[in-house]
Amino acid sequence: MDWPVTYTRKVRYSDTDAQGIVFNGNYATYFDDTVTDLFDAIGYEWTHVEVVLARMEIDFRSPARLGETLVTGARVERIGNTSFTVRLETWEQSSGRTVAEAKQIQVTVSGNDFEPVPVPDDLVAAIESCARSGREMTTRSR
Amino acid sequence: MDWPVTYTRKVRYSDTDAQGIVFNGNYATYFDDTVTDLFDAIGYEWTHVEVVLARMEIDFRSPARLGETLVTGARVERIGNTSFTVRLETWEQSSGRTVAEAKQIQVTVSGNDFEPVPVPDDLVAAIESCARSGREMTTRSR
Amino acid sequence: MDWPVTYTRKVRYSDTDAQGIVFNGNYATYFDDTVTDLFDAIGYEWTHVEVVLARMEIDFRSPARLGETLVTGARVERIGNTSFTVRLETWEQSSGRTVAEAKQIQVTVSGNDFEPVPVPDDLVAAIESCARSGREMTTRSR
Amino acid sequence: MDWPVTYTRKVRYSDTDAQGIVFNGNYATYFDDTVTDLFDAIGYEWTHVEVVLARMEIDFRSPARLGETLVTGARVERIGNTSFTVRLETWEQSSGRTVAEAKQIQVTVSGNDFEPVPVPDDLVAAIESCARSGREMTTRSR
């Protein structure tokens, strides 16, 4: 699949809990870290509109353990009227085993009153340009 | 609503991020902390079966800020064949404002091979007993 | 000992790591959470000066485990020229076992240029008043 | 300075707090993450002895902000009778600005009763070998 950005994290003690696996709450952090990188890659000037996380769905596919390396990919999957959907996946680097999958609904709001506003055309263009570069990057590098 | 357990957390710097609000990933931690208390309240001996978090859905309703106090309630909402659903809600203590709502799918698995197994009858009984005591507790205390 | 504020935290999965004990880095968070409460209790208006954490020393005395309840106390121990020292201790609630001890050097800085400034007289007075109320509270409640 | 291992972390929202800078408690996590890598690099079989963190001292030199990249280096500085000292430093990658410095006292204990034991000769040898490779690596790469 095409991921314009990926975030790599080796699992250390700080990621784990007393069950010996990555603490489930930490995946939300991996996803936010990756989405920050995605927004940087989109390279949009957030002057008029801001983005608010409205909803997140996470499917936990398999546990991850100390010393494994987790890679999380993020991309915009669908652009709606006043929101867009970010698709995320975390896999174990050496085996490719899927560890978690997620979906985020990001709502575009006015920087003044935080009311939902339509996704601006130039943001749509920036997202599409980022997706294309991800596709090309993926094609080149794998 | 009836919450057999509630978990109270005053928002401090460690909960917030550079946007000045509670970091979205921390809600997954509040939910896990509360569900740990819920499982303690259910008081089940997890000898034959264990529970694995398979899916979580979070709706972010309003941001929370430094100094606010967040209360998270958890209860089992529905018991399926090999899983049950935990309903969660976080609200601001003084205003009652809803901050986040969530749903977790917890799968019962065999302690031997971690394959899904039917929710045992005595676990169903323990969950229902806990739900009743929550209802009574709520009736008494509010 | 006299603690004007104490912060209580039941150890849950999110506090622990794969060694089955509270992750060492989390004590720094407990200390910050407690110091936030201490500064609230001091009740000072931080308009002209701000406070910057310059140094922290932590002695880890014994590990803490899932289900134990940790209490952290904080008090100002010594007021210097441009800084003051906060003394912290974490103990297990039911046994009183010392879990960690710490010391923080907090430097008073100008809100304009963040250069160190003498601890203002009214901050000294507020700290001393808070310490006295802690002593009285302790005397009354134990 | 010679660092056999370095750990690189770009500062994202999850690292920061409402003051807009990296939350002080997170440095303890960066240090633990780096020391885990250091112990991996030392490559010792922890069969007879284990290591327990007994004391940590942190000096906070300058705040770090969203988007900066922090590098943390770790090395064993001094080997005592039943303990050794790990020296740590965190700096901002592009400017080289020192952000935090720290020292950890790690005590070697018996895996049976967790009582302090002398640092084994083969652990001393592994630490010294790791330090040499760090020095050579540094010489080559900078």
Torsion angle, alpha carbons of A6, A12, A16, A22, to 10: 30
pLDDT at D114: 84
Using DSSP's 3-state secondary structure scheme, residue A110 falls into strand
Using DSSP's 3-state secondary structure scheme, residue A104 falls into strand
Q: B140 falls in which pLDDT band (50, 70, 90)?
A: very low
Q: Does D141 touch chain A (CB under 8 A)?
A: no
- The identity of residue B47, as a single letter, is T
Minimum mean pLDDT range among A65-69, C93-97, D135-139:
D135-139
Q: How do beta strands B5-10 and B69-79 pair?
A: antiparallel
Q: Chain C: nearest CA to D23, how far in angstroms?
A: 9
Which partners does chain A have (≥3 C-beta pairs < 8 Å)? B, C, D
- The model's pLDDT over C9-39, given as tens digits with 9 standing for 90+, comes to 999 999 999 999 999 999 999 999 999 999 9
Whether A63 and A22 have beta carbons less than 8 Å apart is answered as: yes
- Cα–Cα distances in Å, from A131 out to A1, A41, A106, B77? 11, 10, 17, 40
The residues, ordered by sequence, that sit 6+ positions from D8 with a Cβ below 8 Å of its Cβ are D69, D70, D71, D72, D93
Q: Is the pLDDT of residue B10 over 50?
A: yes
As a whole-number percent, the residues of chain D with pLDDT over 70 amount to: 93
Q: Is the pLDDT of residue D138 over 70?
A: no
Chain C CB contacts of D7 under 8 Å are none
pLDDT at B27: 98
Q: Is the pLDDT of residue A138 over 80?
A: no
CA distance C122 to C126: 6
Q: Which residues pair with D135 in a beta bridge?
A: none
Whether D118 and D82 have beta carbons less than 8 Å apart is answered as: yes
CA distance A37 to B93: 34
The residues, ordered by sequence, that sit 6+ positions from C20 with a Cβ below 8 Å of its Cβ are A18, C65, C66
Q: Does B103 touch chain A (CB under 8 A)?
A: no
Residue D138: both structure tokens together: 């540094």
Residue with tokens 């904080």: C74
As a whole-number percent, the residues of chain A with pLDDT over 70 amount to: 93
Q: Does D55 touch chain C (CB under 8 A)?
A: yes
Chain A CB contacts of C17 under 8 Å are 13-14, 16-18
- Cα–Cα distances in Å, from C111 out to C9, C46, C126? 33, 9, 19
Which partners does chain D have (≥3 C-beta pairs < 8 Å)? A, B, C
Size of interface A-B (CB pairs under 8 A): 52
pLDDT at C45: 84
Q: At what angle do helices C25-42 and D25-42 cross, to 10 degrees?
A: 170
- The model's pLDDT over B60-104, given as tens digits with 9 standing for 90+, comes to 999 999 999 999 999 999 999 999 999 999 999 999 999 999 999
- The model's pLDDT over D50-109, given as tens digits with 9 standing for 90+, comes to 999 999 999 999 999 999 999 999 999 999 999 999 999 999 999 999 999 999 999 999
pLDDT at A139: 46
Whether C108 and C119 have beta carbons less than 8 Å apart is answered as: yes
Element of type H or E holding B8? strand B5-10
- For the segment D15-34, the average pLDDT, to the nearest whole number, is 97
Q: D3 falls in which pLDDT band (50, 70, 90)?
A: very high
Q: Does A7 touch chain B (CB under 8 A)?
A: no
Q: Are the beta carbons of A20 and C18 separated by less than 8 Å?
A: yes
Whether D32 and A12 have beta carbons less than 8 Å apart is answered as: yes
The one-character DSSP state at B61 is: -
pLDDT at A46: 82
pLDDT at D137: 52
- Cα–Cα distances in Å, from C60 out to C22, C23, D102? 11, 11, 15
- Cα–Cα distances in Å, from C58 out to A14, A137, B5, B111, C29? 18, 46, 34, 39, 12
The residues, ordered by sequence, that sit 6+ positions from A27 with a Cβ below 8 Å of its Cβ are A58, A60, A90, A100, A102, B28
- The model's pLDDT over A14-49, given as tens digits with 9 standing for 90+, comes to 999 999 999 999 999 999 999 999 999 999 888 789
CA distance D51 to C60: 13
Q: Does B50 touch chain C (CB under 8 A)?
A: no
pLDDT at B135: 65
Q: A137 falls in which pLDDT band (50, 70, 90)?
A: low
User: Phi and psi (nearest 5°) for D74?
Assistant: -140, 140
pLDDT at C46: 82
Chain B CB contacts of C36 under 8 Å are 12-13
Using DSSP's 3-state secondary structure scheme, residue D53 falls into strand
Q: Does D66 touch chain B (CB under 8 A)?
A: yes
CA distance A138 to A142: 6
Q: Chain C: nearest CA to D109, how far in angstroms?
A: 13
Whether C76 and C92 have beta carbons less than 8 Å apart is answered as: no
| Mean pLDDT taken over chain A | 92
Q: Are the beta carbons of A18 and C23 separated by less than 8 Å?
A: no
| Mean pLDDT taken over chain C | 92
In chain B, whose CA is at the least distance from the CA of C14?
B29
| Mean pLDDT taken over chain D | 92
CA distance C131 to A91: 52
Q: Chain B: nearest CA to D41, how far in angstroms?
A: 31
User: Considering just the CA atoms, what is the radius of gyration of chain C in Å?
Assistant: 16
- For the segment B14-35, the average pLDDT, to the nearest whole number, is 97
**Among D140, D125, D135, D11, CA closest to D73:** D135
User: Considering just the CA atoms, what is the radius of gyration of chain A in Å?
Assistant: 16
pTM to 2 decimals? Answer: 0.93
- For the segment B31-46, the average pLDDT, to the nearest whole number, is 94
Q: Does A112 touch chain D (CB under 8 A)?
A: no
